[in-house]
Structure 1
Amino acid sequence: MTSIYYASTYGSTKQYAEELARRVGVDAVPIAEAGEVSAGTAAGPIVVLAPAHGPMHEGVKFVRSLGSEALRNRPAAVATTGMTIDDFVTTADPTGGLLGDLADSVTRFYLPGRLNYSELSAAHRNVMRGLITAVKMKPRKNENERNMIDSYGKDIDRVDFARLDPIVEWVEVQQI
């Protein structure tokens, strides 16, 4: 049976996890409530959804806690939710970099998220202000950095449930 775990800061990853769980007929479990996952003895794929916040990625941390031995017995995927432009995140593959030696054994997906500045915590708003200030000072900005500047301070929702289709297909293939 497929296991779906998630972490969500502002809700878009939770939305994705719940919709994915509905589509494959299981429950989505918050990573914080996962307890010990018996990845080595259970059957079916593991899908972990989590947002990326710079070098912090709760989904990667969770998958790394399972260890390479457990992942030999059970296919795993990480779906990262974020605001990065698709082409940029596909080329850079930051989730693969964070997975390190597990990258070859974990399938990766990217889901566009939601960032509502009107809902940000004061700490997160300050981090974003500092990040945008630093990006604005760069002489040659890439497309993703220009997008960050253009969207700063705005409420943007790019959640798209159609982006779950490849994950559902991956799950179905793993269950054969």
Structure 2
Amino acid sequence: MKSMIVYGSEYGTTRRYAESLSRQTGIPAADYKELKDLAGCGLIIHLGGLYAGGVKGLKRTVKLLPPGARLILVTVGLADVTDPENIRNIQTSVQRQLPAPLWKNTQLFHLRGGIDYGKLHFAHKTMMTLLCNQAKRIPEEKRTAEVRAMIETFNAKVDFVDLDALAPVQEAIRTALP
């Protein structure tokens, strides 16, 4: 079965995961922007950075999915993926982005990424500043772990990438392949 790793990365963290997964599995990786079609692919692994609740490149990948193809979806974001509330929020957001039949058959994984405020585009820097200012107005006792982390890391460079966290994704790929 032909397989493809597709990734949507704005600042490089998701690309790092995708390239590592490609090396580990031997499955070719491509930026979603370069993708023309996925004809003949039975398994697509999409890694996408989380931006304002959306998964970068997912819409295009879904549009190009051949009938009957399996999807493994890996989100990459700043949120702590050991926090059940964060996982529920990500899953709710992803579910809205996928057709119901595809959602039911998609394996979903979450990885931590990173951020370097010095490299953010103006629009992203503005959005993060607004979000952080809004978060600071939340009373301390009502702040989630995600909100506290955003405030603590604001205007900093943080890198939570853990390539060993790809192990469950690798196992899902092995299980999906004949």
Same structural fold, with TM-score higher than 0.5 when normalized by the shorter chain: yes
Q: Which one is further off, 55-64 or 5-14?
A: 55-64
1:1-176 pair list within 5 angstroms: 1-38=2-39, 42-66=40-64, 70=67, 73-86=68-81, 87=83, 88-92=85-89, 93=91, 94-101=93-100, 102-139=102-139, 140-176=142-178
Contact 1:13-1:50 at 8 Å conserved across structures: yes
Structure-2 separation of matches of 1:119 and 1:164: 25
Which residue identity is paired with 2:59? K
What is the CA deviation profile of residues 9-55 of structure 1, one whole-angstrom value per residue up to 9, with x for unaligned ones? 000111111110111112211101110222xxx25411001101013
TM-score (structure 2 length as normaliser): 0.88
Offset of residue 98 of structure 1: 2.8
Distance 1:61 1:43, change over 3 A: closer
Q: Which runs of 5+ in 1 are unaligned?
A: none
Which residue identity is paired with 2:73? V
Contact 2:4-2:41 at 8 Å conserved across structures: no
What is the CA deviation profile of residues 53-80 of structure 1, one whole-angstrom value per residue up to 9, with x for unaligned ones? 013322431343146x72xx22111111
Structure-2 separation of matches of 1:161 and 1:30: 19
What is the CA deviation profile of residues 109-141 of structure 1, one whole-angstrom value per residue up to 9, with x for unaligned ones? 111101011211222111100011111122321
Of Structure 1 and Structure 2, the greater helix share is in: 1
Does the residue aligned with 1:2 lie in a helix, a strand or coil?
strand
TM-score (structure 1 length as normaliser): 0.89
Structure-2 separation of matches of 1:20 and 1:96: 24
Percent of pairs with identical residues = 26
Which residue identity is paired with 1:160? D
Q: Which runs of 5+ in 2 are unaligned?
A: none
Structure-1 separation of matches of 2:49 and 2:151: 20
Structure-1 separation of matches of 2:163 and 2:23: 12
